Structure 1
Amino acid sequence: MTADITGRAVAFLVAPEGIEQVELTEPWTAVEQAGGDPVLVSTQSGRVQGFHHLDKADTFPVDAVVGETGADSYDALVLPGGVANPDYLRTVGDAVRFTHAFFEQGKPVAAICHAPWLLVEADVVRGRTVTSFPSVRTDLVNAGAEWVDREVVTDRGLVTSRTPKDLAAFNAKLVEEIAEGEHRAQARSAERVSAGPAGGHSRK
């Protein structure tokens, strides 16, 4: 039975393009079906471009711009993958600060495939057990994480998975973590990060 997250606002942070579409649409649907309110956040207004591997797919309307909204407006964060998507986001200061703020506030975060690159940039994986697309493993280990090869891993409110093949497990676990709410251990872990960015801006 799916956990009930009625009324919970869930931010989906993506770049303007390079998103692996299924890693956006399937978790989005899972949040909606559980009663949640998914919100598409990007670095600029307009529409974002989804991809099926290297081929352009659909576009999706942006609900909020990352520099104009903050983690305090949401109950959880989902980070879809794709190679170009997180690779771009980790160069955007507002996106890094937005992500780090969820950890400071103890809120659930779910990242799949290449998306943990953004977690590395936000310096929030130190001392955590995670998984990812195999090519991201070295970056995570160098950032202080313990990497394991499992379809889904949960550590103090952080959910990670490897590839689209793991989406069923990923979706179930992210909804479960959102239903559980804030994790004090998540916030304590963020407090121990010595060089982490500051929290996000308030949403208007």
Structure 2
Amino acid sequence: MEQGSNGGALQGKRVAVLMTDGVEQVEYTGPRTFLEGQGAQVILISPKGVGQAVQGMNHDAMGDTFRVEMNVSDANPADFDALLLPGGEKNPLELRKSPESIAFIRDFYAEDKPIAAICHAPWVLIDAGIAESRNLTSWPDIQDDMRAAGAEWVDQEVVIDEKLITSRKPDDIPAFNDALLKALKIDPQAADMGPSS
């Protein structure tokens, strides 16, 4: 009975999506559609200005553009329940050049809230200083970078290490979405109270 337009398992939850030009389109649209279908509010955050267009990609072909809803400089991790980092090769390379974006990811991690990164996006976890000693996955081509940063790289569709959720590629999106849904449904206060009798 959790289906339906008003309601859903994630009603009242807010999810930040941090991305810029070169994002792999389906790694943004797939999770966003899924999260919104569960009742979450999703906000596209970028180092680009509000109202500017982010260029999506379908592998090597140009895809759609997506309007920025908040500049990363104005975003506060305390206002969100989870952070989604879509991939695409160029997108994380551009984010790595944005000190504000890396600081936002680092600050989000300090809040002990879920961070979900797919494909090439785990690259930015290195820059934010949160890949070391973590079990992670990513697009296979960057596994050497992940290992060099001290991560334990695992080849599976979704890897969960505490609040970090990582996946390899668009084919993994269903498992990635499911892991993020489960992470968002956990109520920290309920968990602290222990199981009810």
Same fold (TM over 0.5): yes
**Partner of residue 39, structure 2:** 35
Percent of aligned pairs with the same residue? 42
Q: Aligned partners of 1:152, 1:88: CA distance in 2, in Å? A: 24
Shift in alpha-carbon separation, 1:169–1:20, aligned structure 2, 3 A: same
| Distance (Å, rounded) in 2 between the aligned partners of 1:124 and 1:182 | 22
Query: Is the partner of 1:99 in helix, strand or coil?
Result: helix
Shift of 1:44: 1.3
Identify the residue that residue 195 of structure 2 maps to in structure 1.
none
Aligned with 1:177: secondary structure?
A: helix
Picking from 6, 14, 18, the partner of 1:13 is 18
- The ranges of structure 1 where at least 4 consecutive aligned residues each deviate by more than 6 angstroms after the TM superposition are none
| Map 1:83-94 → 2, pairs under 5 A | 83-94=89-100
Q: Deviations over 1:125-145 (max 9, x none)?
A: 111101000111111111111
Among 56, 61, 73, the alignment partner of 1:50 is 56
Q: Deviations over 1:79-124 (max 9, x none)?
A: 0000000011011100000001111000100000000000010010
State the TM-score, normalizing by the size of structure 2: 0.89
Instruction: Point out where structure 2 has 5 or more consecutive residues left out of the alignment.
Output: 190-197
- CA distance in structure 1 between the aligned counterparts of 2:77 and 2:158, rounded to whole angstroms: 24
Deviation at 1:175, TM superposition (A): 1.3
Q: Do 1:75 and 1:181's aligned partners in 2 also have CA atoms closer than 8 Å?
A: no
Letter in 1 for 2:143: R
* CA–CA separation in structure 1 for the residues paired with 2:169 and 2:159: 13
CA distance in 2, matches of 1:181, 1:76: 13
Aligned residue in 2 for 1:171: 177
Query: SS of the residue aligned with 1:91?
Result: coil
Quick check: 1:107–1:182 contact (8 Å CA) kept in 2? Answer: no
Matched pairs, number: 182
1:131 aligns with 2:140: no
SS in 2 for 1:170: helix
Write the deviation string for residues 143-163 of structure 1: whole angstroms up to 9, x where unpaired: 111000000011101100000
For 1:192-203, what aligned pairs fall within 5 Å after superposition?
none
Q: Computing the radius of gyration over CA atoms, which structure comes out larger, 1 or 2?
A: 2
Query: What TM-score, normalized to structure 1?
Result: 0.86
Cα distance in 2 for partners of 1:169, 1:139 equals 24
**Structure 1 CA distance for aligned equivalents of residues 187 and 116 of structure 2:** 13
Provide the C-alpha distance between the structure 1 equivalents of 2:152 and 2:18, rounded to a whole number of angstroms. Answer: 24
SS in 1 for 2:120: coil
Change (3 A) 1:164 1:75: same
**Residue aligned with 1:171, SS:** helix
Structure 2: which amino acid aligns with 1:10?
A: V
Which one has more relative contact order, counting CA pairs under 8 Å at least 6 apart?
1
Change in 2 beyond 3 A, CA 1:40/1:182: farther
Identify if the C-alpha distance between structure 1 residues 14 and 182 changes in structure 2 by more than 3 Å, giving closer, same or farther.
Answer: farther
Aligned mates of 1:52, 1:43 — CA distance in 2: 21
* Alpha-carbon separation, structure 2, partners of 1:123 and 1:162: 20
Tell me the SS of whatever aligns to 1:144: coil
